[in-house]
Copies of this chain bind each other. A is one copy, B any other.
């Protein structure tokens, strides 16, 4: 009772290693394909379960892509920050949250990232709900 087990297994190591070397959001299917390419035989169910597991540990971030397919990336959501996503290759660069207004400039300066769009969502309580 109490302690939650956290076995180290081949499938989990393989999946973590795929995520570790891809700085972009990957779908469960893409991860599964990556495993096959590496010669690692892991069921798709296990991929999903491992992703849930990693998400539970706070090791990965999940996000539905434009079509609603959920994608995952190694990234600590606990450290509040945002993402710059390359429209061409999908590469993700972390962006801290300090000065929003400077983002466009600093992004370019720091990462060579050429900004051409952004999406923002604010959350909170509307007047009626307070």
Q: Is A100 an interface residue (CB 8 A)?
A: yes
Q: Is A14 an interface residue (CB 8 A)?
A: no
Which of under 10, 10 to 19, 20 to 34, or 35 or more describes the interface residues of A? 35 or more
Is there an interface contact between A113 and B127, defined as CB atoms closer than 8 Å?
yes
Find chain B residues with CB under 8 A from A118 CB: 120-123
Q: Is A5 an interface residue (CB 8 A)?
A: no
Is there an interface contact between A124 and B116, defined as CB atoms closer than 8 Å?
yes
CB distance from A126 to the nearest CB of B (A): 4
Q: Is A93 an interface residue (CB 8 A)?
A: yes
Find chain B residues with CB under 8 A from A126 CB: 84, 86, 88-89, 91, 93, 111-113
Other A-B contacts than A64-B67, A113-B125, 4 sampled, CB-CB below 8 A, are A85-B122, A86-B126, A111-B126, A114-B124
Question: A interface vs B, CB < 8 Å?
Answer: 64-70, 82-89, 91, 93, 95, 99-101, 103, 107, 111-130
